[in-house]
Amino acid sequence: MNDKPKCDKPVNVQDAFLNHCRRDKISVTVFLINGVKLQGIITSFDNFSLILQREGHVQLVYKHAISTVMPSSAVSVDE
């Protein structure tokens, strides 16, 4: 019997959270550090930025400018 957890690799919470939102096309509200509120669907992301799409418009948002990402529905990062 193996007592090791299913995954030896630590969970990257940020990637798991953003990937869940992207994969399930969950609408998110992104608050920037300057107070601006953006809304849309995350279509992709990398270490430094994310792509937010809404009503045919696409925005590149730099992660260093983001304060909070709030999904419109529950997100699990335990996957």
pLDDT digits over 13-71, tens only?
999 999 999 999 999 999 999 999 999 999 999 999 999 999 999 999 999 999 999 99
pLDDT(6) > 80: no
The predicted pLDDT at position 7 comes to 61
pLDDT(10) > 90: no
The predicted pLDDT at position 52 comes to 98
Q: How far apart are CA 27 and CA 73, in angstroms?
A: 8
Q: Where are the domains of the chain?
A: 13-71
Q: How far apart are CA 74 and CA 16, in angstroms?
A: 13
Positive/negative CA dihedral, 68, 44, 63, 46 = positive
CATH level 2 (architecture), domain 13-71: Roll (2.30)
Bigger pLDDT: 8 vs 75: 75
